[in-house]
Structure formats: C-alpha cells, structure tokens
Chains A and B, each alone.
Chain A
C-alpha cells in the first residue's frame, strides 16, 4: 500500500489535500475571528480523501468490492425500518462489526458508503460529510480494536458498541459547536453535547441491544463470508503435479 503513495494520482491527492488545508488555514487566519467551522470541514475532507486514497491504491478484488458495497447498502437500509425510534438503528452496529471482521480499511469503506448512499435517498445535507467521517471512523476503529485486542470477547465488543453511540453523537456535535457557537469553551461544548444527550444515549443503548440480540449471528455470517473471500495462488508446477 505504501508504494501507492508514489503514483501520480497519489501526489494529486496529497497536493490537493494539502492545498485544501492551507487554503482553509489561510482563510481562517485572514478573518477577524478564526473560522473553525470551515477549517474543521477542510480537515475532515482531507482525512476522508486520504482514507479513500488508501482504498484506491490497495489491492482490492471484485469479491471485496461486492461485499463492501452490499454491507454499505445494508447498513444504509438499516436506517429505514427503525426510523420511527430516534437514533436507534442497526447502521452503527453493522459498520462496527464489519470493521471488526474485515479490517480497518473495509470498515471505513462500509461506514462512509452507508452514509453517502443512504443520504442520496434520505437527503444530502451539511451532516453528510460528518456522518461519512463518523461512521467511517467507527468501522476503521473496530478494525484497530481487533488488532489491539484480538481476544477481547463479547463484553469488550458490547462496551465498544455502546461507546460508539456517544462518540458518534459527539463527532456530529463537533461541527455544530465549531461552526455555530462562540466562544469555544468547555462550557459551550458541554451545553452542545447536553442538548443531544438523550439521542446519544438512545443510540448507545440501541447499539448494545442490537449487538446482544443478533451480534454473534451476524459475526458468524460475516466470518463465513470472509473465508469465501480469501484465496491463495497456486504455483503452476504444483497444479501440474
């Protein structure tokens, strides 16, 4: 994956992202009050570009692309049946479990695709890029979580699912706080997070309950799908024998 950073397209991405950040930083500096709303949006966009770059430059088979697309669509469709209950949906649960089974890169792609694809139908808004980032990060961190704690067990995964209910809400609050609230103090951040506390709690409880009810079954199904994705090349002479 590292050698991909030396392709022309990679340099295009790097220079583009650096230019975006420099432009936002310059614009924020020019203003009477630093514009953290715009700067944060530029940083999030640059991070997303880099994560997409790693997916673009990595070796990805047709099977992996198909499975990621299906999981992304499924996570997006999961926003519909429980839409009547605010913040409760299997999307975060599925994104996390996908990242845990298929790895950080696939987890990020499932999360960001779920946000983008569902909003093509549910309506794009300023929230789209932050949802792409938050769900992408949920999937990415789940991959890292398995790397750090390979034998964590269901309790640690349950806690991870529960915690992401709040983290997702805080990430979404961050832009509201940076773009629309002044001054940027701990008090104003707490006030912004307090406004969404019940929604975040419902999200966290929803993740936990969904994981406890169907988590193991879903993990087994995904492990089975992962085994079907894995293959190894055989030497021609070995086949001839």
Chain B
C-alpha cells in the first residue's frame, strides 16, 4: 500500500522525460500555484495536475495523498476564519473568548480559508506527481555539475539509508537473540533499549565511514577535476515539454503583471479582475501545462508520434 506513494517503474511516457524537463515542469507548477490566488486559476491548475497524474498512472497514489493532506487542509480552513475578523458579511459573532475577545466569522474569511485549503491540496498533488515521475537516482545525477561535494554527500547518504535501516533490524534481532525484550519494562527502559541499539549503529557506522573514505581516496577522490558520466538523453519530447511549460510560465507572468490571476478577498465581492480577457490567457496557461499529459496520451495511441518524439 505504502509503496504506491513512491516512485515505481511503470515505463509510461511521463517517466521517460529527462529529469531536467520534469523538474522544470514541477517547479513551474509550484511557482504558479503560489503566485495565483484566483479561484478559477487554482481550479484550472488542479485539473492540469490531476491530468498529469492520470497520465503518470498515479491516480490511486493521489487518492492516498489527498486523504493524508485533507486533515491539514481542514486545519487551514478552520484557522483562517478564526484568525481573521475582516470582511463585510458577518455570519456569526462568537461569545467573548478569553484572550481573544469577540471574533467575527465572515463569509470572506471562510472563502479565503477554503481557497487556501485548495492551494495546499494542489501543492500536495504536485509533489505526488513529482514522486510518480522523477526517479530519485536520475534526479541526483543532475546535480554534480553544480554541487560536486554536496551531491556526493547526498548520494552516499541515500545509498546508506537502506543499509542503516537494515542494520537497525539486524542489531535488533541480535539483541533479541541475546534475550533483550523490546516490549518489556517501563517506558524509560524500553526507550533505553531502542536508543542503545541506535548507539551501537552509530559506533559501527563511524568505523565504516573511515573505510569508505579510504576507498574514495583509493579511487583518486580529490586528486583532480571530476569527470561526469551522462546516461540521460535530451529528446524532442523533453524539448516540447520544456518549451510548453516555460511558455505557460511566461504567459502567467504577463497575466500577473497585468493584474490577472489574483483576487482580493477582503475588499468585498467583486468581479473577476480582467473579466473575460482571463479566458484565453487561462486556456493558454492550462494548455501549456497539460501538453506533457496530452503527448503521453498521443504517444500511447499513435506509435508514429511516439517514435518521432
């Protein structure tokens, strides 16, 4: 069940994109969801993210993500009306609460809270998409060009993480064979047993790290400029996706500069800024952001297209 939350190789079109193209796509989605505050733009963004998740065959995982994020979204929906008494349409005046006084629950603050809850759900959906389409190893391969030492540290730590968790289980089994019962005793005693296990792991891992450093030196680490080996190819599909999402980002910037895509919640209910001029702009942004999903659908149904891109 939990495996579906993480990257699993499905071989679909979205997973074959170059990590730089996928990462740019995710970054553009993330910037736009933070930049837009208008309900229609946010709903449009949610639809294009869900479309991409569908193309990545991750709808089941998305349901799980939504269940987890819903609690946080509800919290945001509750805090906003309680924290803000501004707005013209007062629904309810609370009794005099100690330390807070009389709070006015307004329609505007409830609406703002609901929109911010939606924004959180979109952000979580974007990271669901990220976890579905970007292989962690391919992502790590992107960074050594800019962050040589830091990327090495993260790569080593990532390789060691499963080793450490396996070692923890191994140490626990050895302790149990020696008669340690992790369920017995008071809370302090049980904690002590777990933390003693952690201490053993620390000491043995520090010894291992020195061997690892010697192995790195034996392989000429630090003796000259580092070489890089590339395995990811930048194909026409990557270029198409990159251009489409950058175009969408450009149009979105133009829209924001023109005062579109944002909404003033607490200055009374108003018309949509820009009126009907929003529609072609929204269509262009959402079209650009939906292109990877559309290409995925096209590649599935047209082998000629798949071979060309």
A residues near B (Cβ < 8 Å) are: 9, 12, 27, 30-33, 35, 37-38, 41, 52, 55-56, 60-63, 65-70, 72-74, 76-78, 80-82, 90, 94, 109, 113-114, 116-118, 120-121, 123-126, 176, 179-183, 185, 187-188, 191-192, 195, 209-210, 213-214, 217-218, 221-222, 224-225, 228
Contacts and interface: CB of A to CB of B under 8 A. Distances in A.
A56 B149 contact: yes
A38 B252 CA distance: 15
Nearest to A31: B262
A62 B201 CA distance: 21
A180 B116 contact: yes
A187 B120 contact: no
Interface string B256-287: 11010011111000000100000000000000
A221 B149 contact: no
A30 B36 CA distance: 11
A125 B31 CA distance: 14
B86 A183 contact: yes
A27 B197 CA distance: 50
A117 B147 contact: no
A174 to B, nearest CB: 14
Contacts of B117: 180
B164 A77 contact: yes
A118 B34 CA distance: 25
Given A30-B256, A187-B100, A188-B83, A66 B156 contact: yes
Contact of A38 (B34, B83, B196, B201): B34
Interface of B: 5-6, 31, 34-35, 37, 72, 75-76, 79-80, 82-84, 86, 100, 112, 116-117, 119-120, 123-124, 127, 130-131, 136, 146-150, 152-154, 156-158, 160-165, 168, 191-192, 194-199, 201-203, 205-206, 208-210, 212-214, 216-217, 221-222, 253, 256-257, 259, 262-266, 273
A214 B273 CA distance: 60
Contacts of B80: 180-182, 188
Nearest to B212: A66
Contacts of A63: 209-210, 213
Given A70-B206, A221-B202, A35 B35 contact: yes
Nearest to A194: B79
Contact of B35 (A31, A123, A126, A188): A31
Please indicate which of the listed interface residues A116, A125, A209 has the most CB atoms of chain B within 10 Å of its own CB.
Answer: A125
A225 B206 contact: yes
B153 A113 contact: yes
Contacts of A78: 198
24 contacts: A38-B34, A55-B149, A62-B217, A63-B209, A65-B213, A67-B213, A68-B153, A70-B160, A70-B205, A73-B161, A76-B164, A120-B161, A126-B124, A179-B116, A180-B76, A180-B120, A181-B80, A187-B100, A191-B79, A214-B198, A214-B199, A221-B202, A221-B206, A225-B209
Given A32-B262, A65-B216, A123-B131, A181 B168 contact: no
A62 B116 contact: no
B201 A74 contact: yes
A76 B198 contact: no
| For the complex of A and B, 3 pairs with smallest distance between CB atoms | A188-B83, A69-B156, A73-B160
Nearest to A28: B35
B262 A125 contact: no
A181 to B, nearest CB: 6
Given A37-B34, A90-B195, A182-B80, A69 B157 contact: yes
Given A41-B34, A124-B131, A77 B168 contact: yes
Contact of B168 (A35, A72, A81, A213): A81
A124 B84 contact: no
Nearest to B208: A70
Contact of B206 (A32, A67, A179): A67
Please indicate which of the listed interface residues A35, A120, A209 has the most CB atoms of chain B within 10 Å of its own CB.
Answer: A120
Contact of A66 (B194, B199, B216): B216
A209 B213 contact: no
A65 B152 contact: yes
